[in-house]
Amino acid sequence: MFSSPPSPTTPLRNLPRPTWLSDPKVLRTEVLGGLVVALALVPEAISFSVIAGVDPAIGLFASFTMAVTIAVVGGRPGMISAATGAVALVIAPVNREHGFGYLVATVILAGVFQIVLGVLGVAKLMRFVPRSVMVGFVNSLAVLIFMAQVPEMTDVPWGVYPLILGGLALMVFFPKVTTVVPAPLVSIVVLTVVTVGASIAVPTVGDKGELPSALPVPGLPDVPFTLDTLTTVAPYALAMALVGLMESLMTAKLVDDITDTRSSKTRESVGQGVANIVTGFFGGMGGCAMIGQTMINVRVSGARTRLSTFLAGAFLMVLCVVFGPVVSAIPMAALVAVMVMVSVATFDWHSIAPKTLRRMPAGEITVMVVTVVCVIATHNLAVGVVVGSVTAMVVFAKRVAHLADVTSVLDPDGAGVVYRVTGALFFASANDLVGRFDYAGDPGKVVIDLTAAHIWDASSVAALDAVEAKYAQRGKSVEIIGLNEPSARIHQTLSGELTGSH
* Per-residue model confidence (pLDDT) at position 15: 55
Q: Report in angstroms the alpha-carbon separations of 162 from 114, 175, 184, 195, 335.
A: 45, 20, 16, 11, 14
User: Under a CB-based contact definition with an 8 Å cutoff, are residues 49 and 64 in contact?
Assistant: no
The burial class, CB within 10 Å (0-12 / 13-18 / 19+), for 199 is: exposed
* Per-residue model confidence (pLDDT) at position 345: 81
- The per-residue pLDDT for range 247-272, each reduced to its tens digit, is 899 899 999 999 999 999 999 999 99
Q: Report in angstroms the alpha-carbon separations of 30 from 25, 27, 187.
A: 9, 5, 18
Instruction: For residue 42, give every residue at least 6 positions away whose Cβ sits within 8 Å of its Cβ, in sequence order, or none.
Output: 60, 205, 208, 211, 316, 319, 320, 327, 330
Among 12-21, 110-119, 189-198, 316-325, which stretch is predicted with the lowest mean pLDDT?
A: 12-21
Alpha helices in 379-457 (DSSP H): 381-401, 427-433
Distance separating alpha carbons of residues 91 and 239, to the nearest angstrom: 9
CA 63, 65, 69, 71 dihedral sign is positive
Distance separating alpha carbons of residues 18 and 2, to the nearest angstrom: 7
Among 36-45, 109-118, 157-166, which stretch is predicted with the lowest mean pLDDT?
A: 36-45
Tell me the percentage of the chain whose pLDDT exceeds 70: 96
**Helix axes 265-281 and 56-73, enclosed angle (nearest 10):** 140
Distance separating alpha carbons of residues 278 and 164, to the nearest angstrom: 37
pLDDT at residue 55 tops 80: yes
* Per-residue model confidence (pLDDT) at position 47: 77
Tell me the percentage of the chain whose pLDDT exceeds 90: 54
* Per-residue model confidence (pLDDT) at position 2: 47
User: Under a CB-based contact definition with an 8 Å cutoff, are residues 267 and 74 in contact?
Assistant: yes
Question: What is the length of the chain?
Answer: 502
* Per-residue model confidence (pLDDT) at position 80: 96
Quick one: which of 78, 81, 90, 82 has its CA closest to 45? 82
Q: Which amino acid is at 222?
A: D
Pairing label, strands 288-289, 445-455? unpaired
Instruction: For residue 215, give every residue at least 6 positions away whose Cβ sits within 8 Å of its Cβ, in sequence order, or none.
Output: 317, 321
Average pLDDT for residues 431-456, to the nearest whole number? 91
Provide the CB-side half-sphere exposure for 199 (13 A, CA). 0
- In this structure, how many other beta carbons lie within 10 angstroms of the beta carbon of residue 155? 7
Distance separating alpha carbons of residues 490 and 146, to the nearest angstrom: 51
Average pLDDT for residues 21-46, to the nearest whole number? 89
pLDDT at residue 429 tops 80: yes
pLDDT at residue 45 tops 80: yes
The model's pTM: 0.74
